[in-house]
Structures are given as structure tokens and as C-alpha cells.
Structure 1
Amino acid sequence: ELTHPIKHALLVAQSDTNSTDISKIKVLYAHPQVFSQCSHFLANLTDIEVKPADSTSAAMLIVNELKRDDVAAIGSEAGGKLYGLHAIESNLANQKENHSRFIVVAQNPVDVPLQIPAKTTLVMATTQTPGALVNALLVLKDNGINMTKLESRPINGNPWEEMFYLDVEGNLQDGKMQETVKQLTAATRFCKVLGCYPSEEIKPTAVSAVQALNDIK
């Protein structure tokens, strides 16, 4: 598990950034999620065509290939340098503290020593009965396992049914975690461990919770 601070910038192919006026930008490329993260900045722009890209790197590649002074992308300054782009404005995100989380994926599982703080990611599907999800989550509570993330995704071919992805604090080498997985398997229709990995400790930011909520609006 790795987290990386993300600072969005307005990137252009022109090397002389002093001569690049934002008002000249007519087309802007970025990943749709980036557009939502920078909505306040975009609201102040006029007469700009926003075009979604498959990824941030794809957006920067397009700008690099077009090399037009009226085309720009939103991405990190470090990423822009890889594509020969230059920042003409920085810190575009609504929230000043913006981090992306990455998981390093391996083909074969790697045992995490018990001395290292770890997380385990699971996917499960509950039965379509009242309280089924609550009963599954109570397994975590009863075993003293802290859940750090819960996310639902639709099940293809099964309308209105969802799978649940969970991140929990626990090491699969630990007996308590193994017992928890066993009980979750019994309490759900489907349960699978996707992986166990060292967790990264993230220090609290200087931005208050109230300010963070205001930035979202």
C-alpha cells in the first residue's frame, strides 16, 4: 500500500509558459475524476471544451502530440515533465490535501511478517435478506477487526445485487484474522481474500474536517 500526494496543474506543450495565457486555452483534456476534483477551477473558465481521456497520462500524451498553444491537460507537474509539458498554473484541486492510494499487485501472494502492520482486502457478496450485510460486518466487530474501507460494486448479470470490497486492519498470518475470514465465509454467499499487504501509516493533514467538507461543496 502506497499513498502519493497529488497536486493538479494546468499543463501545456509550449516551453515558454510566460507567454501562455490561460484565456487562449480552448480544449482541455483530463480524466473524468480529475475534472470533478478540479471543478471549482473549471467553473471560473469560459469558452473551453472539456474532453475526457482514459487516464491522466493519456491526456498528457494527447497534448504532447498536438503541440498546440490552445490545448492543455490537467495532471501533476512531475507527470507532465515525462511528456515534455510545462505547468502554467498549479494547485487546481478543490481540496488542498489530495492523495491517491496505490496497491502493488503481485501474481503470487507474499506473506507479511506479523511484526509489520498490515491490511487485508476482501470481496464478499451477501444473501438478499434483511440485515445480511449488518450480520457480516458484525463478524468484524465481534473479532475486534477494524474496517478502514467499504465499497460496493454491481454484480454483472444480477440486477440490483452488489459485491462488497473491504479493507481491514489485520494480517492473514494472524490466527484471529484467519478465524474472521472463516466466519465471514460462513456468514456470506461468497467471500474471497484478494490480498494481504503492509499498510502505510498516513499522518493527519493540517486541513480540518470542516474545511475538507467545505472544499467538497
Structure 2
Amino acid sequence: PIENSTEGAVNRSLDLLVESELSIIAQVYLQVEHCLFSYSAMDEVGEIQSKDQALAQCGEWLRKNFSDVKLSPVTSTAEAVKNCSEKNGIAAIAGELAGQIHQVPMLKQGIQDKRNNVTRFLVVARNALPKSNEVSYRTSLVVSLSDEVGALQSALTPFSSRGINLCKIESRPSRKKSWDYFFFIDFIGHNGDPEANEALQELKQNCSFLKILGSYPENFPD
């Protein structure tokens, strides 16, 4: 998962993209419905576990129904369901399939705060796929800029001057030193397109680090 329609970017995924040698080759949008699972009854639940994003996406419902219950983030919704041993007072927030796989009873279905709760997933691979002329593309990259006035504007000008549409800009601490940031940029087009390639070459002159994360088909959610 890279971002959610209500909670925004998945920060750990952004960090992994910087560190990884894999390329993004596709994106998938999935409608997410969260459910509450436990062997314990609703009034016996003393702790609710899930991924931090899932807990946030159900925040209003949890405050209304479990205001005094401990909320514990874990590495995945699947791990949360696994931790629900019989009658231990632990409940998990996860998708319906996770509950079915681990055979944990469902207490409540559809507990996410927003009905239109969509998560965007990225598909990564060792090698990029050949470009097709039959589809439109989206390209993701990450840059690090010098700490000076107008640095971000200078980084974006190569795209605007060529009419290239930027569809996302996200900042994230680089963790190399305090107050140093990576900027994640998505634009419409393939990095092999002549104008995009020119923009990227110009961008390199205005940043200390640039990594192309991948060009992939720009499909939209239904």
C-alpha cells in the first residue's frame, strides 16, 4: 500500500521505495472494508490490534464504540487476526478474507469511517516493463533538494515549462540528518517520453539526489 483516500501516504512504503532497487511496474486501487474480529464478545474486548492505517481509518467508530479500549498498532492486519486467540479479550481490525482464513468470528462488518475508503497499491519488480503506446503512464520519482530559497520551485519548473502535469508531491524526512527531506513526485507521462526525459535531465541539475521509482500505466479506480 502506498496511500489511502482518507489517511494519505503510507510512510513506511515511501521509505522502502527509496531503499529498494525494485521498480514500480503497476498500480492497483482497491475498495477497503474493515471488519472487527474476536473470539470475545463486544463488551469483553480490552484491546484492539491492527495496522496503524487501519486503526486511523476506523478512528471515529472506535472512539464511539471503544473509547476506553487499548488500541495497539501491529505490522499488518493479518498479524492482528492471528493474535486473536480464543477468549483473550483481543480483537482485530482487518478485511473479511483475513478473518475467514484464520477462522476468527466477525463481530462487526464495515466499521471504516468513510464508505468510499480506497487504498492505492503499487506492484514492484526487479525490471521495468517495456513501454506500450496503447496506454497512458504515470511516473514516480524521489529527489533531495538543497536547503536554499526557491529550491522546490526550481525543481518543479522543468515540468511546468513543458506542460507536464504533476499529480502528487509528498515530503518525507530523509533520516540522514535533522530537517532534511525527500520529495516524492508523480507526473503524468513515461520517463522515456522526450519531453519528460528533458525535464528529468534539467531536474538533475537542481537536486542532490534523484531516483526514478518507475513508469507504469495510469489506471484510475472505478
- Give yes or no for TM over 0.5: yes
CA distance in 2, matches of 1:74, 1:99: 16
CA distance in 1, matches of 2:146, 2:41: 57
Answering whether residue 78 of structure 2 is matched by residue 52 of structure 1, we say no
Structure 2 counterpart of 1:26: 46
Structure 2 counterpart of 1:212: none
Structure 2 counterpart of 1:40: 60
| Conserved? CA contact 2:29–2:220, under 8 Å | no
Larger Rg: 1
CA distance in 1, matches of 2:35, 2:105: 9
Matched residue type, 2:114: Q
Aligned residues: 195
TM score, norm. by length of structure 2: 0.82
| Aligned-residue offset at 1:69 | 6.1
Q: Could you tell me which runs of 5 or more consecutive residues in structure 1 were left unpaired when the two chains were aligned.
A: 15-19, 204-217
Q: Could you tell me which runs of 5 or more consecutive residues in structure 2 were left unpaired when the two chains were aligned.
A: 1-26
Partner of 2:79: helix, strand, or coil?
helix
| Aligned-residue offset at 1:79 | 2.5
Q: In structure 2, do the counterparts of structure 1 residues 202 and 126 end up closer, same or farther at CA, with 3 Å as the change threshold?
A: same
**What CA RMSD, in Å, does the superposition of the two structures yield over aligned residues?**
1.6
CA deviation vs aligned residue, 1:115-157 (integer Å, no higher than 9, x gap): 2111111011111110100111122111111112111111223
Structure 1 counterpart of 2:120: 101
Answering whether residue 33 of structure 2 is matched by residue 7 of structure 1, we say yes
Runs of 4+ aligned residues of structure 1 deviating over 3 Å after TM superposition are none
| Identical positions, percent | 27
CA distance in 2, matches of 1:144, 1:86: 53
Matched residue type, 2:207: T
| Conserved? CA contact 1:11–1:74, under 8 Å | yes
